[in-house]
Structure 1
Amino acid sequence: MYTLDDLLFLMARLRSPQGCPWDQLQTFSSIVPHTLEEVYEVIDALEREDWPHLKDELGDLLFQVVFYAQLADEAELFRFTDIIDQLVAKLIRRHPHVFPDGQLYTDQQQPSIDPAQVNQRWEMIKQQERGERQQHSVLDEVPQALPALNRAAKLQKRAANVGFDWADTEGVLDKIEEEIAELRQAIRGGRHSEVLDEAGDLLFAQVNLCRHLKLDPEQALRSTNRKFERRFRYVETQVNQQRGDFSTYSLEELDAFWNQAKQRETADEH
């Protein structure tokens, strides 16, 4: 079977003067869209539990990492081995309950520790690392390119780690109701900029609620997207099988098809 060394050789070959013209033209910035696409394809395969496809998509994602490493090597920034070395060192440092002496291959019996304690230690170590890099804010290093829902959750989590957070979900629910009232007022005022601002505040508060409920907002919305798609496709099927045109149906009739789709899903679950 081919190995990681074979993959690294292949990448270097693709970028060589005798390699692939497309690969030769690529830069760090030009392959970013492909990287994002591969990440979402991995997530899609995971959510569908399509394990053979997942293996293929993970390979495509790994190729993106190898591509960046090759570009960095050519620019004399770092090599693939440097990525591995830094990653292993960081994971050893962040798992002192597994590697108490900081050595990878030391065989030692460790006391049991629950996941909550692991997570708490992980965050403490990360904060120490940020301090050593002389950051100016706990919000530093939250990537600007993250999807907005994910970035909102990370910003809120960073703030919560230093005590800036609601005490419980009731406080967040109250905040959501407050934001809804402010959004209603902005809509009545008719100023687009105010409506945009208040709509964003409402979304931000809803992300906060998901975080307090231990839910991933991106995953929650993706689940709702799939549910909407499923039910709307059922509505389309009913329309096509009967009159064949949405314009001949009232909203009430279309909503009846929607409710049928919901009932079918409930019946399937039982």
Structure 2
Amino acid sequence: MAAATSEERGTVSETPAAAITRLAAIMARLRDPATGCPWDVAQDFATIAPYTIEEAYEVADAIERHDMAALRDELGDLALQVVFHARMAEEAGHFALTQVLDGIADKMERRHPHVFGDGTGGHESWEAIKAEERAGSGVEGALGGVALSLPALLRAEKLQKRAARTGFDWPDANGPRAKIAEELAEIEAATDGAARAEEMGDLLFSVVNWARHLGIDPEAALRAANGKFERRFAAMERAAGGAFAELTLAEKERLWERAKKL
């Protein structure tokens, strides 16, 4: 793919600092109560948060598709979310964008003493420093600070990794694999919907645990499975010529097997 021309790219700032300053100024103007955009002015942290999460997933999607043009655009959308939240915080007197950027810069230097400090340490130091930071911020316990808003599979994996650092973990993949069989039996033995739902949660947690022990990212694995299902289902619909819903289940199964071979 040929590189985009300056006209296609639009404005090209001379430095990253100039680019972030321009974006911050645009957001300040959009949020101006008198002359800004009514939609932007009406937003708050809670209303913008879903967009922030959505943009992060769109970044991940562009990466999975190896679409660098889309990745550039989605990273811009994600950067806008940071500037948007920081602007609202500054208006309320909480903190400013410069504090956000300086804060993460300080954190990266602090967590990389082997690069910015005395030359010692590494990933182990990173984890130890993070633990100290959590303790210093008032977060209690090894599992403290794992965001509730994370996707359930991702949060389960993070909780398990935190617990594993304390020594509370299966010694190998056989333990969580056996736990899956146990949870399946408990689902089948459940006598009501609430009990089945609870045991299903335990089963999913165990599957995440097994995936972790096998070195598999469960969130990425499920995204890939979703994509595979979508591709195969679309192939079935195309093969049915617009009459997929009218087919019998046996006919749909034959189309599914054909789509799998494709």
TM-score, structure 2 as length reference: 0.89
| Unaligned runs of at least 5 residues, structure 2 | 1-11, 14-18
Residue of structure 2 in register with 1:22 after alignment? 39
Q: Which stretch of structure 1 is more off in the superposition, 24-33 or 199-208? A: 24-33
Q: State the partner residue of 1:209.
A: 210
Paired residue for 1:247?
Answer: 246
Question: How far 1:35 sits from its partner (Å)?
Answer: 1.1
Deviations 1:63-97 (A, max 9, x none): 00000111111111111111111111111111111
Deviation at residue 9 of structure 1 after TM alignment: 0.9
The yes-or-no answer on 1:7 pairing with 2:8 is no
Q: Give the corresponding residue for 1:260.
A: 258
Does 1:132 find its partner at 2:136? yes
Q: Alpha-carbon deviation of 1:48?
A: 1.1
Which structure 1 segments of 5+ residues have no match?
102-109, 112-116, 265-270
Distance 1:261 1:248, change over 3 A: closer
Residues 237 and 244 of structure 2 are in contact (CA less than 8 Å); yes or no, is this contact kept in structure 1? no
Give 1:21 deviation, angstroms. 1.2
What code does the residue aligned with 1:84 have? L
Which residue in 1 is equivalent to 2:69? 52
In the TM superposition, what are the counterparts of 1:151-230 in structure 2 within 5 Å? 151-186=155-190, 189=191, 191-230=192-231
Q: Distance in 1 between matches of 2:203 and 2:173?
A: 15
**Mean Cα displacement is larger for which, 132-141 or 205-214?**
132-141
**Relative to structure 1, is the Cα distance of residues 245 and 64 closer, same or farther in structure 2, using a 3 angstrom cutoff?**
closer
Displacement of 1:180: 1.0
Residue 66 of structure 2 aligns to a residue whose secondary structure is: coil
Percent identity over the alignment?
48
- Report deviation, 1:55: 0.7
The separation in 1 between residues aligned to 2:111 and 2:41, in whole angstroms, is 38
| Structure 2 contact 52–78 (Cα < 8 Å) conserved | yes
Q: Deviations over 1:103-138 (max 9, x none)?
A: xxxxxxx58xxxxx8433221111121222233211
Distance 2:140 2:51 in 1: 32
Q: Is 1:145–2:144 an aligned residue pair?
A: no
1:61 aligns with 2:60: no
Return the offset for 1:175. 0.8
CA contact (8 A) 2:30 2:40 kept: yes
Amino acid at match of 1:14: L
| Equivalent residue number for residue 268 of structure 1 | none
User: Is the Cα contact below 8 Å between 2:236 and 2:244 reproduced in 1?
Assistant: no
For residues 40-60 of structure 1, the C-alpha deviation after alignment (integer angstroms, 9 at most, x for no partner) is 211111111111111111101
Instruction: Return the TM-score normalized by structure 1.
Output: 0.86
Matched, 1:84 2:82: no
The answer to whether the 8 Å contact 2:154/2:219 transfers is yes
Cα offset, 1:245, TM superposition: 4.2
Give 3-state SS (helix, strand or coil) of 1:157's partner.
helix
